[in-house]
A and B are shown apart, each in its own frame.
Chain A
């Protein structure tokens, strides 16, 4: 693997991390805490929305984030030919 390739792979990894961690932050700290009082005026299935994000929604999103990460990274590994054979 060339050093340029290595850098490109690492950059792509960091870009993916940044996107996923921004979502991670928004659903928990954003919707679940900072914006919860505002969101609570909206109702979702009998739940106030901010409360729902804090006690249900954020957990579902965390799950999706990890599987998306694993899927994308494993693809990235193949693209850059750094996967485990």
Chain B
């Protein structure tokens, strides 16, 4: 074993021991101080734990890679996954806390006085959560394949086993202190390499400022800002300008951001955290604190992405473009390059047979003549999976082994904690909301527990197998999950609070139509149930709906949901007096009950 492997095994092992140790310690102390019934969790602690719950493989492993290659276009992830907290804090959190129930389907079932509404909500929740887990599986597969130096597929199978073990251990998830530890590991792992790299490239230790600072090349100030330098380097190789390239048209950027924002406010594993703060007033601050801890990563990510891209280009394009020695010799490629080749996520093909690596945009017709004149016969980095960038970043920048090991541990913490949380949400939806709540009210506790284990295993297998050929990069797949939540759950929750006249029929039709339209559009592009080869474009252009991509379509689904719900509700009977009184009551904080214990909420 080389030095790096020893470091990686040690750091990953140490962090896992820490999480389990805290879980055991906190359990022992339960009755004593932490969970005096109804006391709940302090908003700052709750915010940090929410941050760990929230930031998954999509945020940690995938997002900066997408920023690196999409530049300004990837802003949709940055704004979408933070701006949603504003909606959550202003439109949902305090009211759901006042309502004082455990799960999202329970709220929908009670507010819309209907088992049918509850079932529809459960189905939407399961669809969104499983899609979300597919994205996590992609990230876990990437992390394990690199960590164990195997192929991506093998990494994914091993990851599935570990996720199952981790999620079934279960109870551990509910302990806020474990999540606080996970947050600390995750944020250190993300910011430490970013600070190192920012220091190297700009001399400014704060990545948020470094990204705009002057670029320092080999110790000499270059006289231009890092962003300008990056723009220049990639334009010279035929790529689009970093600071202005978009993802699709302006409408797509708009819809993508909106879909992620309202999806954020509709995802059950985040909402559940606001049920457990002590008071309504705390629920408002809790969302703010969660965003503080999330923003530390999200404002660092743009620097990580841009600097990784610049370092990657500099590694391969070592001299002036077009000169013979300007490109790195394949046999001189660094270690990290070889290791990622093992995983199959990075591929090189010597198209012009010169033994050197040419990395440029061969789709750019304006650049083609110039490339041909250099004797280049196409881009030779035939595969650069975006999801490897964050993990490869510290190696590309030649950072010490312990930093690289820390990043692997952070990525695993992010992916495992979120996957486990989602699997618990899925299994409790099946066993509690569907089985006990609707079909078999007399089910024994043991049978309920077994059903939850079986549904958890089932979800892992389904998500894992679909993760072999995921419908996109981790963050893109997760974006689809947000679209599904946006088109179904969020409108039903918001209307349930802000529209007293909203009735059961309206809500059910709204949810059903919103998620159906969104799913159809997504499946049309990505394959039925995401199975490759089952796309049904039927001669239509990709993104035929005004250029909106399937990942961004949740915004359209949400608009349909709102429109259908409002129309149908006005054509049918108004909700009973008692429900209208309930809505009035939810709107004022006074009289809120004691907070339920989070693990009680999760077991529930």
Given pairs A59-B82, A67-B285, A84-B590, 15 additional interface contacts (CB within 8 A): A6-B587, A36-B72, A37-B244, A47-B212, A51-B72, A52-B212, A54-B75, A55-B72, A56-B208, A58-B82, A62-B83, A62-B295, A70-B284, A70-B288, A74-B284
Query: In the complex, how many residues of chain A place their beta carbon closer than 8 angstroms to a beta carbon of chain B?
Result: 45
Assess whether B79 is in contact with A28, with CB atoms less than 8 Å apart.
Answer: yes
How many angstroms from the CA of A85 to the CA of B584 in the assembled complex?
Answer: 19
Contacts of A83 in B (CB 8 A): 281, 589-590
In the assembled complex, the CB of A46 is this many whole angstroms from the nearest CB of chain B, namely 3
In the assembled complex, the CB of B241 is this many whole angstroms from the nearest CB of chain A, namely 10
Cross-interface CB contact of B79 among A54, A63, A70, A84, cutoff 8 Å: A54
Contact with A along B209-231 (1 / 0, CB 8 A): 10111100000000001110000
Residues facing B in A27-85 (CB within 8 A) are 28-29, 32-34, 36-37, 40, 44-48, 51-52, 54-56, 58-60, 62-63, 65-67, 69-70, 73-74, 77, 81-85
How many angstroms from the CA of A17 to the CA of B94 in the assembled complex?
Answer: 13
Contacts of A37 in B (CB 8 A): 244
Assess whether B588 is in contact with A46, with CB atoms less than 8 Å apart.
Answer: no
Instruction: Please choose the segment from B250-258, B332-340, B528-536 that sits at the chain A interface, where 4 or more of its residues have CB less than 8 A away.
Output: B250-258
Assess whether A62 is in contact with B257, with CB atoms less than 8 Å apart.
Answer: no
Instruction: Please choose the segment from B84-92, B99-107, B317-325, B394-402 that sits at the chain A interface, where 4 or more of its residues have CB less than 8 A away.
Output: B84-92
Question: Which of B86, B285, B590, B592 has the largest count of A CB atoms less than 10 A from its CB?
Answer: B86
Contacts of B82 in A (CB 8 A): 58-59, 62
Cross-interface CB contact of B299 among A36, A40, A56, A69, cutoff 8 Å: A56
Assess whether A55 is in contact with B75, with CB atoms less than 8 Å apart.
Answer: yes
Assess whether B227 is in contact with A63, with CB atoms less than 8 Å apart.
Answer: no
Assess whether A20 is in contact with B72, with CB atoms less than 8 Å apart.
Answer: no
Tell me what chain A mostly uses at the interface: helix, strand, loop, or mixed: helix
Assess whether A63 is in contact with B291, with CB atoms less than 8 Å apart.
Answer: yes
Q: A28 and B257 in contact (CB under 8 A), knowing A55-B75, A55-B78, A62-B83?
A: yes
How many angstroms from the CA of A84 to the CA of B100 in the assembled complex?
Answer: 14
Contacts of B257 in A (CB 8 A): 28-29, 32-33
How many angstroms from the CA of A32 to the CA of B250 in the assembled complex?
Answer: 11
Cross-interface CB contact of A63 among B90, B244, B295, cutoff 8 Å: B295
Q: A56 and B302 in contact (CB under 8 A), knowing A83-B590, A84-B281?
A: yes
Contacts of B299 in A (CB 8 A): 56, 59-60
How many angstroms from the CA of A73 to the CA of B298 in the assembled complex?
Answer: 27
